[in-house]
Structure 1
Amino acid sequence: MRRTPVLALALTTAMTLAACGSGDDPLATDAGSPTEDGTATSGSTGEGEGGEVIVGSANFPENVLLAEIYAAALSDAGVEVTTRLNIGSREAYMAGLDDGSIDLIPEYTGGLATYLNPEITVTSSEEVLADAQENLPEGLQLLEISEAEDKDSLVVTQETADELGVASIADLEPHAGDLVLGGPPEFESRPNGVDGLQEVYGLEFAEFRSLAAGSNLTVQALRNGQVDVANIFSTDPAIEENSFVVLEDPESLFAAQNVVPLISSDVVNPAVEDALNAVSAALTTENLTAMMVEVVSEGQDPAEVARAFVDGI
Structure 2
Amino acid sequence: MRTPRLTLVLAAAALTLAACGEPGSAGGGSAPETGATGDGGGVVCEPVAGEELVVLEDDQRLQTVDNVIPAVNADAAQPALISALDAVSAVLTTGDLIALNKQVDVERETSRQAAQAFYEQAGVEVPDTSGSGRVVVGAGNFAEAATLAELYALALTDAGYEVEVRTIGNRETYEPALTSGELTVVPEYAGTLTEYLNKQVNGPDATDDAPLASADLQETVTNLTTLGEQVGLVFGAPAEAADQNAYAVTTAFAEEHDVSTLSELAEACDGGVSLGGPVECPDRPFCQPGLEQTYGLTITEFVSLDAGGPLTKQAVTGGDVALGMVFSSDAALAES
| Structure holding more helix per residue | 1
Structure having the higher strand fraction is 2
TM-score (norm 2): 0.44
- The structure, 1 or 2, with the larger RCO (C-alpha pairs under 8 Å, 6+ apart) is 2
Q: Normalising by the residue count of structure 1, what TM-score does the alignment of the two structures yield?
A: 0.46
